[in-house]
Amino acid sequence: MLKAPVPYTSSVEEIEDDEAQLAADLAKTMLAISRKTYEDTHEGLRSVHAKSHALLTGRLSVKPDLPPDLAQGLFAAPGDYPVIMRFSTTPGDILPDAVSTPRGLALKVIGVKGPRLPGTQDATTQDFVMVNGPAFQAPNARAFLANLKLLAMTTDRGGSAKVALSKVLRATEGAIESMGGKSTTLRALGGHPATHPLSETYYSATPYLHGPYIAKFSVAPVSEDLTVHGHDHLDIDENPTAIREAMQDHFAIMGGEWELRVQLCTDLEAMPVENAARVWPENESPYVAVATVKVEPQTAWSEARSAAIDDGMSFSPWHGLEAHRPLGSVNRLRKSVYEASARARGEREHKAMTEPTDTRNLFTDEPEEAQVYYP
Ligand code: HEM
């Protein structure tokens, strides 16, 4: 028998006195990364997750007849929405795929109605920003800042050294995994196995409001054309864009279906809000499907898609509904840092960030009918 979800009260969050200073330090470190890559490439890149591997349009359908605990915010009523999906890997510099790092997925749902988070009143989007692990690499923003400072020092230094290091780390991680373990740190540093991004489940890792409750969410592949890639081992040592090409090959002939799932917090001890490094136990509260995301075959990546989505858009956990407000120190501090990173990109690219209202005519090089899969 599953326990009832814990209602949110402000006491589940512990706001520290120096969070404004921490946010400023995080933004400074993030901007130092993108300043370095701008000097080297003259491109306004994201401070992290700079390299995209697939940029897709599709459709999200909220499931009918959801139980009241789950039917909250965007999921309160059945409905269909256009979506944009951006698959990425974590570094802030554009490295060969042989430097194998965690995979990211940002999902932008368009046309959402309801009271909105501060600063996004004019938009109708709900973003979900995820990585392929159920918890974050650091428990709180302070610990993450320490990791980030180390990472920032390595930006754009020694691409070939990073490739060599990644091979060693992948071998070490492989040995750990063969004994049933997994090291988030080794994976973040380049020891991620050469998995296909379409076989991965992506997680919010950090908690969010879910109406009056608290939840994490995930996006998991469910159609066989996606899950079959679980057997793939990409040729990342030979091909610097192996991941992007694997995505292009897939979507040239196939589509895919994912489930968007919600894990409600049913016990604050086992599922804390202020420790983002804790995996919430699925045997106590499973991830339950609240929507599906479907995409049709399409051009998975092109320069025009990259100009529109990589350069012209930003994805942030703070773009969305008040009913899905990000919780916990890691999430609270992301607001101003994502804004600062996106602002710097826009200035460098001389391009305003836009929040889309539609997925029609997003890409200038594709005929209109090829671009959209519209409800
Ligand atoms: C304090 C913690 C964090 C900070 C400071 C941070 C910072 C950033 C920044 C500056 C960007 C680039 C934003 C832009 O230029 O548009 C970014 C992107 C991203 N972050 Fe975070 N992040 C944090 C935590 C997380 C967590 C917990 C996740 C996942 C669960 C995550 C996943 C991603 C992904 C997938 C992107 C790429 C989004 C896209 O495709 O545009 N980050 N992050």
Ligand 1 contact, 273 CB (< 6 A): no
Distance 94 CA to ligand 1 centre (A): 16
Residue 38's pLDDT is: 94
Q: Is 303 exposed, middle or buried (0-12, 13-18, 19+ CB in 10 A)?
A: exposed
**Among the ranges given (175-179, 206-210, 256-260, 264-268), the one the predictor scored with the smallest mean pLDDT:** 175-179
CA 21/CA 167 separation, integer angstroms: 37
Closest CA to 259 of 226, 232, 211, 213: 226
Ligand 1 contact, 315 CB (< 6 A): yes
CA 291/CA 222 separation, integer angstroms: 12
Distance 43 CA to ligand 1 centre (A): 18
Q: What is the pLDDT of residues 11-27, one digit of tens each?
A: 999 998 999 999 999 99
Ligand 1 contact, 345 CB (< 6 A): yes
Domain at 10-371, CATH from 3.30.310.10, 2.60.40.420, 2.60.120.1030, 2.40.180.10: 2.40.180.10
**Own/partner pairs for 144-150, CB < 8 Å, 24+ apart?**
144/26, 144/330, 145/22, 145/25, 145/26, 145/29, 147/188, 148/26, 148/29, 148/30, 149/29
Ligand 1 contact, 131 CB (< 6 A): yes
Residue 261's pLDDT is: 98
CA distances from 349 to 93, 159, 322 (A): 16, 24, 31
Distance 1 CA to ligand 1 centre (A): 36
pLDDT at 236 exceeding the cut of 60: yes
Residue 369's pLDDT is: 58
Within 133-178, residue ranges assigned H as helices are 141-153, 159-178
Residue 165's pLDDT is: 66
pLDDT at 372 exceeding the cut of 60: no
Q: What is the largest CA-CA distance in the chain?
A: 57
Q: In this structure, what is the dihedral angle of CA atoms 270, 276, 279, 280, given to the nearest 10 degrees?
A: 40
Domain parsing of the chain, residue ranges: 10-371
CA 250/CA 314 separation, integer angstroms: 25
CA distances from 226 to 56, 174, 221, 236, 350 (A): 14, 23, 6, 19, 37
Give the model's confidence band at 375: pLDDT under 50 very low, under 70 low, under 90 confident, else very high: very low
Q: What is the pLDDT of residues 255-303, one digit of tens each?
A: 999 999 999 999 999 999 999 999 999 999 999 999 999 999 999 999 9
Q: Does 363 or 31 have the greater pLDDT score?
A: 31
Q: Is 359 left (phi over 0), alpha (psi -120 to 50) or beta?
A: alpha
Ligand 1 contact, 30 CB (< 6 A): yes
Residue whose pair of structure tokens reads 């373990």 in the numeric block: 181
